[in-house]
DNA sequence: GTGTAATGCTATTGG
DNA sequence: AGCATTACAC
């Protein structure tokens, strides 16, 4: 057990860690040890006696949550850490919604629609309404709906909002409000929520059900939000509601790294925070531990070009380091070659490993040139993002069978597989089912299940085929509760005919599709066989129930010796499949030593010794779509800032003077961002690509700007931490009055640490801090306010 | 209703 | 250049 974690922190970090009560905002510059602070803060809370069940930490990816849990587990204990509520907003609140779904009229096993599903729903609506897909582009319509939901504007409110409808009318799309309304009804009928609904409906739940709000307020006594600059209004309100009672809310963020405004993130949330909690304390983490001076200072110079930002002075005591290398190529393919070549050389000369390198780009489409070049030099790589495994067609097909099995009303799953593999139910039939469903306001499934009553104008052969399909899905459904996920999933894959369909395709693509489906089945197998600690966070919400649950299971186990632990079923597997992203997938052994390739967005929070930022060209980075507004351009600049600050030792930026776009060759200008870097931080020499000298060298454009007049950050220690004056009144969480007369030397019992002797008492009740030596687990400092202690003698 | 060939459209960024 | 939708022959 690591007790000296506080020694591993600098002064500000330590203050941020031990200030556990009341509202706290941590402004964390790039590479300033933010994750460490968050990790230790949670560990510290637990050491102080807070119950992990009462701690909620919202992270940006599930992977980040998993890694943080592991680190916390190493400081406290694994079993303690497991009880923490940690994950993305979407996954945490999806869980809560499953527990509370029925209040909102959704089934507990509601489907989560991904973007493709959502677009498909919109297409269906457009078709029904006779609207032109070219005017109402599904992606744009969905974006509009999404923005509304993220601002907590319901379909009704949308239609009634004069300003919004005016906007839509002006842009020639007056029907968006109607589409939103139909879209929402359609999803509801299908028992489905899209990504935004997970947050929107959580808000409804907390707004309309005071008992629910109360329950989760009590449960989440301590709330932490990472990457706060990237939360949207809907998320902001959820957090505000949950924290209203205890006000132990800690947000961590960096306005300079806000790169998700396009999906509704709002820097305003940081300002709102100050307004909502005037008592808050602010800590600024300004020392960068990650990067060299050159990188830190160049990044600072760039971000200074933004008008909107909080004042911050990021500095480092690290070495000067290499300058930023600028490489120029004649084409996108050549850019790939020089990057690959540079990686190759660096590996040779600096004994670097593949995993030390990352190639970052603005758009996913840029990965191909890089891939080809790396392949030619036999450099292994892994692409993050892009099409994730779960988005592949064949995988989605099989998942659609699972989804329909678990939620018969899931319309998108239904449409996907009703005639795949082909079973003679064609488009006309499906159209007729759709019309009947719409006219009666029921799901497609309900029509099919009662096909006779709806008297569809189809022939009897078709009716039989539909009935066969219904029967098949129902037969799958009955298997689910009694068998493990793999057995059911495997049966479905064969019985549906999907496996056979794929197996007969012997083209390379077909073989690969078959393998992907096998891979999914392997995943099911692994899930089914994995240790059955039921995902604790899935069970009910308080420790009491939790323990009862555990007892119940062990009793059953005792009675039926030899029988395996409780089943891991298909519905459990499917719970948050839709929320997994590529970044969340566990790294395999193989992945461990590969060059990483991803978009800059996906690189957020990561760090690499050697970073390549490619495609620094006008109309690519910054994106042409960002050039109309200052706000958008500043977001692009922050994106560049994020990219640069991923690098520990060396950053290399590159651009090409020609590039294929839309299949045609276009010529490119170097990005304005290159000019914004002070000349003194850039190395044009391009030593890494020696041997192709004429390709590189002085860039052909005029960055002849004199050194900017920006004052250089110096390597002085941080000034002083900013602190609010008044300490917050501590909340009075539990009744511990029986501990009022606790004496040194008495024996106490703690729920998790067992029995121990009181060694020391400091402070006046109820703010007494007790030092207790536990028989198991050693010495702990506990606050009587929180610790659930019983006096034994 | 099914399968293949031609056409046309699209591409930030992502949970 | 790639993909999805459409057009057309079976």
Report the pLDDT value the prediction gives residue A45, as an integer from 0 to 100.
96
Phi-psi region of A90 (alpha: psi -120 to 50; beta: other; left: phi over 0): alpha
Asked if strand C comes closer than 7 Å to A662 Cβ, the answer is: yes
Report the pLDDT value the prediction gives residue A717, as an integer from 0 to 100.
33
Residue A760 sits at φ, ψ, to 5 deg, of -160, 145
Asked if strand B comes closer than 7 Å to A115 Cβ, the answer is: yes
Task: For tokens 């943080």, name the residue.
Answer: A68
Measured distance CA(A771)–CA(A779) in Å, rounded: 7
Asked if strand B comes closer than 7 Å to A368 Cβ, the answer is: no
More confident residue, A458 or A39: A39
Could you write out the DSSP letters of every residue in A383-433?
A: E-SSS-GGGSHHHHHHHHHHHHHH-TT-HHHHHHHTTSS--S--HHHHHHH
Residue A110 sits at φ, ψ, to 5 deg, of -55, 150
Report the pLDDT value the prediction gives residue A230, as an integer from 0 to 100.
93
What are the helix and strand counts (H, E) for chain A?
31, 22
Q: Going along A640-736, which residue ranges are E strands? A: 647-656, 658-661, 664-667, 682-683
Protein CA at A141 to nucleotide C1' at B11, angstroms: 17
Among residues A654, A684, A30, A716, the alpha carbon closest in space to that of A322 is found at: A684
**pLDDT digit string, tens, across residues A32-68:** 999 999 999 999 999 999 999 999 999 988 889 999 9
**pLDDT digit string, tens, across residues A230-289:** 999 999 999 999 999 999 999 999 999 999 988 888 878 887 888 899 999 999 999 999
Protein CA at A626 to nucleotide C1' at C10, angstroms: 50
Asked if strand B comes closer than 7 Å to A524 Cβ, the answer is: no
Report the pLDDT value the prediction gives residue A12, as an integer from 0 to 100.
96
Protein CA at A189 to nucleotide C1' at B3, angstroms: 34
Identify whether the C-beta of residue A365 lies closer than 8 Å to the C-beta of residue A653.
no
Beta-bridge mates of residue A596:
A358, A382
Chain C: bases < 7 Å from a protein Cβ: 1-2, 4-5
Protein CA at A256 to nucleotide C1' at C1, angstroms: 36
| Inter-CA distances, A631 with A130, A167, A262, A268, A308, Å | 37, 20, 11, 13, 9
Give the pLDDT band of residue A707 (cuts 50, 70, 90): very low
Task: For tokens 């799958």, name the residue.
Answer: A476
Protein CA at A464 to nucleotide C1' at B6, angstroms: 35
For residue A388, give the nucleotide whose C1' atom is nearest its CA.
B14
Asked if strand B comes closer than 7 Å to A263 Cβ, the answer is: yes
- The DSSP output letter for A228 is G
Tokens linked to A260: 């998700």
Report the pLDDT value the prediction gives residue A156, as an integer from 0 to 100.
96
Measured distance CA(A384)–CA(A390) in Å, rounded: 13
Identify whether the C-beta of residue A370 lies closer than 8 Å to the C-beta of residue A359.
yes
Protein CA at A392 to nucleotide C1' at C3, angstroms: 13
A766 pLDDT more than 90: no
Asked if strand C comes closer than 7 Å to A508 Cβ, the answer is: no
Protein CA at A617 to nucleotide C1' at B5, angstroms: 38
What number of other Cβ atoms are within 10 A of residue A420's Cβ? 16
Report the pLDDT value the prediction gives residue A728, as an integer from 0 to 100.
29
How would you write A6-69 as a 3-class SS string? Answer: HHHCCHHHHHHHHCCCCCEEEEECCCCCHHHHHHHHHHHHHHCCCCHHHEEEECCCHHHHHHHH
| Inter-CA distances, A635 with A140, A627, A758, Å | 20, 11, 54
Among residues A705, A701, A628, the alpha carbon closest in space to that of A671 is found at: A701
For residue A663, give the nucleotide whose C1' atom is nearest its CA.
C1
Query: What mean pLDDT is predicted for residues A736-759?
Result: 76
Query: What is the Cα gyration radius of chain A?
Result: 29
Three-state DSSP class for A327? strand
Chain A residues 542-561 within 7 Å (CB) of strand B: none
Chain B: bases < 7 Å from a protein Cβ: 1-3, 9-15
Chain A residues 479-518 within 7 Å (CB) of strand B: none
**pLDDT digit string, tens, across residues A632-685:** 999 999 999 999 999 999 999 999 999 988 878 889 999 999 999 988 899 876
What residues of A act catalytically?
34-35, 226-227, 257, 646
The torsion angle over the Cα atoms of residues A228, A234, A236 and A237, rounded to 10 degrees, is -170
For residue A127, give the nucleotide whose C1' atom is nearest its CA.
C5
Among residues A606, A605, A586, the alpha carbon closest in space to that of A596 is found at: A606
- The DSSP output letter for A291 is S
Asked if strand C comes closer than 7 Å to A262 Cβ, the answer is: no
More confident residue, A691 or A265: A265
Among the listed ranges A327-341, A407-421, A501-515, A686-700, which one has the minimum average pLDDT value? Answer: A686-700
Report the pLDDT value the prediction gives residue A551, as an integer from 0 to 100.
43
Report the pLDDT value the prediction gives residue A511, as an integer from 0 to 100.
85
Measured distance CA(A642)–CA(A603) in Å, rounded: 8
Asked if strand B comes closer than 7 Å to A423 Cβ, the answer is: yes
**pLDDT digit string, tens, across residues A131-181:** 888 889 999 999 999 999 999 999 999 999 999 999 899 888 899 999 999
What number of other Cβ atoms are within 10 A of residue A218's Cβ? 15
The mean pLDDT of chain A is: 85
Protein CA at A542 to nucleotide C1' at C10, angstroms: 64
Tokens linked to A109: 């096993």
With a pLDDT cut of 90, the percent of chain A lying above it is: 62
A512 pLDDT more than 50: yes
For residue A625, give the nucleotide whose C1' atom is nearest its CA.
B12
Asked if strand C comes closer than 7 Å to A694 Cβ, the answer is: no
Asked if strand B comes closer than 7 Å to A582 Cβ, the answer is: yes
Measured distance CA(A756)–CA(A781) in Å, rounded: 12
Protein residue with the closest CA to the C1' atom of nucleotide B12: A363
Asked if strand C comes closer than 7 Å to A660 Cβ, the answer is: yes
For residue A260, give the nucleotide whose C1' atom is nearest its CA.
B13
Report the pLDDT value the prediction gives residue A300, as an integer from 0 to 100.
95
Give the pLDDT band of residue A773 (cuts 50, 70, 90): confident
Asked if strand B comes closer than 7 Å to A661 Cβ, the answer is: yes
Give the pLDDT band of residue A708 (cuts 50, 70, 90): very low
Identify whether the C-beta of residue A566 lies closer than 8 Å to the C-beta of residue A534.
yes
Protein CA at A137 to nucleotide C1' at B3, angstroms: 29
Protein CA at A128 to nucleotide C1' at B10, angstroms: 24
More confident residue, A713 or A433: A433
Give the pLDDT band of residue A555 (cuts 50, 70, 90): very low
Task: For tokens 């693509």, name the residue.
Answer: A509
Q: Going by C-beta distance under 8 Å and a sequence separation of 6 or more, which residues neighbour residue A342?
A: A325, A327, A612, A652, A688, A689
Asked if strand B comes closer than 7 Å to A88 Cβ, the answer is: yes
Measured distance CA(A126)–CA(A627) in Å, rounded: 31
For residue A91, give the nucleotide whose C1' atom is nearest its CA.
B15
For residue A90, give the nucleotide whose C1' atom is nearest its CA.
B15
Measured distance CA(A628)–CA(A630) in Å, rounded: 7
What number of other Cβ atoms are within 10 A of residue A214's Cβ? 12
For residue A365, give the nucleotide whose C1' atom is nearest its CA.
B11
Chain A residues 187-246 within 7 Å (CB) of strand B: 195-196
Query: What mean pLDDT is predicted for residues A620-625?
Result: 92
A408 cis-preceded (ω within 30 degrees of 0) = no
Asked if strand B comes closer than 7 Å to A663 Cβ, the answer is: yes
Tokens linked to A524: 């099911």
| Inter-CA distances, A611 with A33, A297, A351, A389, A691, Å | 19, 16, 16, 25, 22
Protein CA at A140 to nucleotide C1' at C5, angstroms: 19
Asked if strand B comes closer than 7 Å to A458 Cβ, the answer is: yes
**pLDDT digit string, tens, across residues A472-497:** 999 999 999 999 999 999 999 999 99
């Amino acid at each position: 057990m690591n007790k000296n974690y506080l020694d591993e922190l600098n002064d500000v970090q330590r203050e941020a860690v031990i200030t556990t009560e009341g509202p706290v905002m941590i402004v964390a510059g790039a590479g300033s040890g933010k994750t460490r602070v968050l990790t230790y803060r949670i560990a510290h809370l637990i050491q102080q006696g807070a119950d992990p069940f009462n701690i909620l930490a919202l992270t940006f990816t599930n992977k980040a949550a998993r890694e943080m849990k592991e680190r916390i587990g190493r400081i406290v204990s694994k079993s303690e850490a497991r009880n923490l509520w940690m994950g993305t907003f979407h996954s945490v609140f999806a869980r809560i919604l499953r527990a509370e779904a029925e209040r909102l009229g959704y089934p507990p096993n509601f489907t989560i629609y991904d973007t493709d599903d959502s677009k498909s729903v919109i297409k269906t609506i457009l078709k029904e309404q006779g609207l032109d897909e070219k005017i109402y582009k599904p992606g744009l319509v969905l974006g509009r709906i999404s923005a509304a939901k993220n601002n907590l504007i319901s379909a009704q409110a949308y239609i009634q909002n004069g300003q919004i409808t005016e906007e839509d009318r002006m842009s020639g799309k007056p029907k968006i409000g109607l589409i939103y309304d139909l879209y929402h009804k359609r999803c509801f009928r299908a028992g489905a929520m899209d990504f935004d609904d997970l947050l929107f409906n959580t808000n409804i739940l907390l707004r309309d059900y005071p008992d629910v709000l109360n329950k989760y307020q009590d449960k989440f006594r301590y709330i932490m939000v990472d990457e706060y600059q990237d939360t949207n209004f809907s998320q902001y309100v959820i957090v505000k509601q949950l924290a209203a009672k205890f006000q132990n809310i800690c947000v961590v963020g960096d306005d300079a790294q806000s790169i998700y405004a396009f999906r509704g993130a709002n820097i305003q949330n940081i300002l709102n925070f100050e307004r909502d909690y005037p008592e808050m304390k602010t800590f600024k983490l300004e020392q960068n531990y990650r990067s060299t001076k050159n990188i830190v200072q160049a990044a600072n110079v760039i971000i200074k070009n933004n008008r909107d930002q909080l004042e911050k002075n990021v500095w480092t005591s690290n070495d000067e380091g290499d300058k930023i290398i600028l490489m120029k190529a004649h084409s996108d393919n050549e850019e790939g070659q020089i990057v690959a070549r540079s990686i190759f050389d660096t590996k040779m000369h600096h004994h670097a490993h593949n995993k030390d390198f990352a190639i970052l780009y603005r758009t996913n489409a840029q990965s191909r040139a890089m891939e080809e070049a790396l392949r030619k030099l036999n450099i292994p790589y892994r692409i993050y993002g892009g099409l994730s495994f779960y988005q592949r067609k064949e995988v989605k097909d099989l998942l659609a069978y699972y989804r329909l099995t678990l939620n018969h009303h899931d319309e998108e799953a239904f449409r996907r597989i009703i005639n795949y593999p082909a079973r003679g139910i064609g488009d006309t039939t499906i159209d007729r089912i759709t019309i009947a469903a719409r006219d009666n306001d029921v799901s497609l499934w309900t029509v099919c299940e009662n096909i006779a009553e709806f008297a569809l104008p189809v022939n009897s052969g078709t009716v039989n085929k539909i009935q066969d399909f219904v029967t098949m899905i129902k037969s799958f459904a009955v298997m689910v509760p009694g068998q493990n996920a793999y057995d059911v999933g495997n049966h479905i894959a064969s019985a549906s005919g999907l496996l056979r369909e794929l197996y007969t395709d012997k083209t390379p693509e077909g073989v690969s599709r078959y393998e992907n489906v096998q891979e999914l089945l392997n995943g099911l197998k692994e899930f089914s066989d994995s240790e059955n600690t039921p995902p604790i966070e899935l069970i009910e919400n308080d420790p009491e129930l939790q323990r009862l649950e555990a007892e119940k299971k062990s009793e059953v186990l005792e009675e039926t010796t030899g029988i395996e632990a409780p089943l891991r079923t298909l519905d459990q597997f499917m719970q948050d499949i839709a929320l997994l992203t590529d970044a969340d997938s566990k790294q395999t052994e193989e992945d461990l030593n590969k060059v990483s390739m991803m978009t800059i967005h996906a690189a957020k929070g990561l760090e690499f010794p050697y970073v390549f930022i490619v495609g620094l060209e006008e109309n690519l980075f910054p994106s042409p779509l960002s050039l109309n507004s200052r706000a958008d351009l500043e977001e692009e600049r922050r994106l560049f800032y994020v990219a640069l600050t991923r690098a520990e030792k060396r950053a290399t930026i590159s651009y090409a003077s020609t590039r294929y776009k839309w299949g045609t060759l276009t010529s490119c200008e170097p990005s304005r961002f290159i000019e914004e870097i002070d000349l003194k931080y850039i190395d044009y020499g391009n030593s890494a690509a020696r041997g192709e000298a004429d390709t590189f060298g002085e860039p052909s454009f005029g960055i002849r700007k004199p050194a900017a007049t920006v004052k250089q950050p110096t390597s002085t220690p941080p000034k002083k931490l900013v602190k609010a004056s008044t300490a917050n009144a501590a909340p009075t969480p539990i009744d511990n009055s029986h501990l009022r007369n606790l004496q040194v030397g008495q024996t106490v019992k703690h729920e998790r640490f067992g029995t121990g002797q009181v060694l020391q008492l400091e402070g006046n009740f109820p703010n007494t801090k007790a030092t207790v030596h536990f028989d198991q687990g050693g010495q702990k400092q506990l606050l009587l306010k929180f610790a659930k202690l019983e006096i034994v003698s």
